Structure 1
Amino acid sequence: MLSLGVRQLDDILGGGVEEESSVAFVGSIEYDNVILMHQAVLQALRDGKRVLLVDFRQPPPTLLKELKNHGIDYEPFMGKSLTILDGYSNLYGQATQSGKDVLPNPLDLGITTAIIKEALQKRNYEILVIDDVTSQYTLQSNPKIYIKAVVRLVNSVKSLGKTTFVAVCSDVFERSDLAAILIPFDYIIEASNGKITIKRTLQPLRVLEPKFAYVRTKAGINPVKEHYQSLEGLKTHLKAEEDGTIWIGDVRVQITEEPAERSLIETVYDFLGPEKGKELLYAWGKKQFLGYGEYSKKHSSNVEEALEDLFKFTMAGGGGKLELVELSDSVVIARGTNLFPGGKGYPYPFHPHYAGSLAQFLTEFTGERWEGEETKCEAMGAEHCEFVLRKMT
């Protein structure tokens, strides 16, 4: 299997894509599909694969500069395991360019495909990459002939026992032409408008909905759930407006000091007493987590994976450390340390809202009702907080 360099994508595919297969990275004019494809190429190079990259979209130096802005650095592999064939200069340059890695007449499809196949065989490359087939499509007087040439090239490369990665901009192709050019591909992966969707694959998928949200960052295409599980991911999307608002992505937030939230919890107990106060805090936690379980159900294959992702998000957001102690069909036990807010020396449990949040999360994720309680609390002198959640029958 070939890893595509994005863990969540590899997980859905069961480890990546089959070697000697063909993969189309489809996208819009924002070119997120191109970035995703080059992340896969970089991963292949790191894994020791030899790559022939044909560049029709822009001058190779510009391509290398663009990719560096997204954390993709090909320089260590140039002239060793990576060769770039320049298919751009003789398409648009005023003077004819020459050299062993320059395609003499890219519009001559017969010569161009022959040069590509000869280079693959003679130099023993394992992966052919085309960035991208859309540029050539727009220049053809007869697009149907061009589509046939691409289909033949992809299938002939496959017959040589090589892998093919191709970028395709779906916004440019006529609908029937797009369908035709995608015929030879074993995998079709679309990256557009903040969503990665697997539309065709050789192997069975591991999730019901083969799609997930992503963000485009200086480190390339990054799944949202991984991006926000790190402090760096949160920082890159944190912005302050002149009107006094702070945003993480499209969510408005406020920086809350520990004493402020601690005083809120203490006030709840002071006004309502220990039992009613605990009930309110528990209900508050459930309310805060409405929708989280439903979202996670679309992107996680089981309860354990979903909870681990939730715990990473909690820690990245400053909520403290949660870890799974016990997991069965009917009982979940989680342990927490340094949970927000701290409240040493308090007579009542300080984090029933965490128990409510976990119960709401499990209820949405499993489709069955769960309830929970905080059975130990650091605020009351325990070494850690403990949450016991039970499925209701």
Structure 2
Amino acid sequence: MLKTKIKQVDDALGGGMVEGSAVAFVGSLEYDNIVLMHQVTLNALKDGKKALLATFRQAPDTLLREAEHNGIDYAPFIEKGSLVILDGYTNLYAPGLKQGENILSNPLDIGITTAVIRDSLSKGNFEVLIIDDLTAQYTLQPNPKGYIKTLVRLINSVKSMGITAMTALCKDVFEKVDLAAVLIPFDYVFEVSQGRIKILRSLKPLRTANPIFQYVRTPEGIKLILEEYATVESIKKRLKAESDGTLWLDWDRVEIITESSERATIETAYEFLGPEKGKEFLYLWGKKQFIGLGKDARKRTNSLKSALEEIVLLTRSSGGGILEIMEIKDDLILITGKNLFPRSKGSALPYHVHYAGSIAQFLTEFTGKKWEGKETKCEAMGADHCGFVFWPVE
């Protein structure tokens, strides 16, 4: 099996992709699809496969630098000969004809180019072909339809040799009908764009009803959000302290807040405003903290359950305590919490009303309809857990 080494994706595929199949990584102008394709290539090399990488998008040395910036080090595999780069870039743009080993003399002649690729695969006993990427050649071809036909023949002939073929392409550049045509021979199609990996096609039945996975791009490549924010260590990687006394989490300025500080805020709200007005203040405070998060999550997934699981994970990894989703219905959502921030004992009033406000704000933005929430139980008041109920407002 050819694995992505992203556990949730491989699990959905039944362990990975069948070797000898064709895999397309479709993306947008941010090139996240290309990064993921190279991660899969690196995994194949680490598993002992021999690969031929044809590059038309950029020069080989530039490709290697870009890959290294995304946590992909091809150098050891080039040195031992398990990765060979076929340069289809230089003679597309060089002022004069460049000759040399593994340099395509006339990349725009797609017939000759595909013949050279097939010949190289056969003579080199390669097990994997990678084309980075199809888009560059598509934009330069005087006859795009002929180009697509030749590519379809190439991919099918590579599969007939028992060799795995992988390529990337930019959906923003291809005409819609051309994109559909070029994807015909591929057994697996992944759309990797705007924070979502979506499995559009699989050779085997998928083992999930919702094959959409939220990701972030990191210096170590593409990682699922649930993995990137799963531990305190991963949060620490995203923190940066400046000499002027500022602390940043990605692009947000943050401050380390102690429980006593937040507890004082809650107690002050109740003391000055009274029980009911204090709850209202804390609820609105929570809503304010989560403005924009629901809209951002909506860009990554259409699944409310997946979006709420992100909130659960972020709450735990940032020290906010343990949330658990108990029930999700169209008209009712139940969530429980333990060890929420801040802790307290012996309170006559609920301490985590702001959690109710935050999640209600998130639900409102994500679903597009207004939700309200309430803390029904609180550990600070002696309950064994905190309880929250949320409902839509007509």
Is TM (by shorter chain) over 0.5?
A: yes
What's the CA shift for 1:9? 3.7
Equivalence for 2:319: 318
Aligned residues between the structures: 378
- Aligned Cα root-mean-square deviation (Å): 4.5
| Native 8 Å contact 1:38 1:72 kept in 2 | yes
- Structure 2 Cα separation of the partners of residues 245 and 207 of structure 1: 43
What's the CA shift for 1:190? 2.4
Letter of the aligned partner of 1:96 in structure 2? K
CA gap of 1:357–1:322, structure 2 versus 1, over 3 A, is farther
| Native 8 Å contact 2:338 2:379 kept in 1 | no
Letter of the aligned partner of 1:123 in structure 2? G
Equivalence for 1:86: 87
What's the CA shift for 1:70? 1.0
Equivalence for 1:98: 100
Structure 1's unaligned 5+ residue stretches are none
Letter of the aligned partner of 1:158 in structure 2? K
Structure 2's unaligned 5+ residue stretches are none
| Native 8 Å contact 2:27 2:169 kept in 1 | yes
- Structure 1 Cα separation of the partners of residues 358 and 349 of structure 2: 16
- Structure 2 Cα separation of the partners of residues 373 and 285 of structure 1: 16
Alignment of 1:347-366 (within 5 A): 347-348=347-348, 351-353=351-353, 356=356
| Native 8 Å contact 2:323 2:335 kept in 1 | no
- Structure 1 Cα separation of the partners of residues 359 and 179 of structure 2: 46
CA gap of 1:234–1:167, structure 2 versus 1, over 3 A, is same
CA gap of 1:300–1:311, structure 2 versus 1, over 3 A, is farther
- Structure 1 Cα separation of the partners of residues 334 and 176 of structure 2: 51
CA gap of 1:389–1:176, structure 2 versus 1, over 3 A, is closer
CA gap of 1:315–1:85, structure 2 versus 1, over 3 A, is same
| Native 8 Å contact 1:359 1:372 kept in 2 | no
Equivalence for 1:188: 189
Equivalence for 2:268: 267
| Native 8 Å contact 1:286 1:359 kept in 2 | yes
Letter of the aligned partner of 1:51 in structure 2? A
Alignment of 1:18-33 (within 5 A): 18-33=18-33
Equivalence for 1:172: 173
Alignment of 1:139-288 (within 5 A): 139-205=140-206, 210-230=211-231, 255=255, 257-258=257-258, 259-271=260-272
Equivalence for 2:385: 386
- Structure 2 Cα separation of the partners of residues 290 and 230 of structure 1: 24
Alpha-carbon displacement from aligned partner over 1:103-158 (angstroms, at most 9, x marks no partner): 34333434432332233334332221101122222333333222111100101111
| Native 8 Å contact 1:186 1:200 kept in 2 | yes
Alpha-carbon displacement from aligned partner over 1:66-113 (angstroms, at most 9, x marks no partner): 1101111112222343222222233333343222x3334333434432
Report % sequence identity.
48
Counterpart secondary structure, 1:54: strand
What's the CA shift for 1:47? 3.0
CA gap of 1:284–1:8, structure 2 versus 1, over 3 A, is farther
Alpha-carbon displacement from aligned partner over 1:278-311 (angstroms, at most 9, x marks no partner): 7976787688679979959x859896x8776544
Alpha-carbon displacement from aligned partner over 1:336-386 (angstroms, at most 9, x marks no partner): 3xx43244x654576433874798699999xx9997644645x97x9xx63
| Native 8 Å contact 2:45 2:51 kept in 1 | yes
Alignment of 1:103-118 (within 5 A): 103-118=104-119
Determine if the alignment matches structure 1 residue 17 to structure 2 residue 17.
yes
Counterpart secondary structure, 1:147: helix
TM-score when normalising by structure 2: 0.74
What's the CA shift for 1:163? 1.6
CA gap of 1:248–1:12, structure 2 versus 1, over 3 A, is farther
TM-score when normalising by structure 1: 0.74
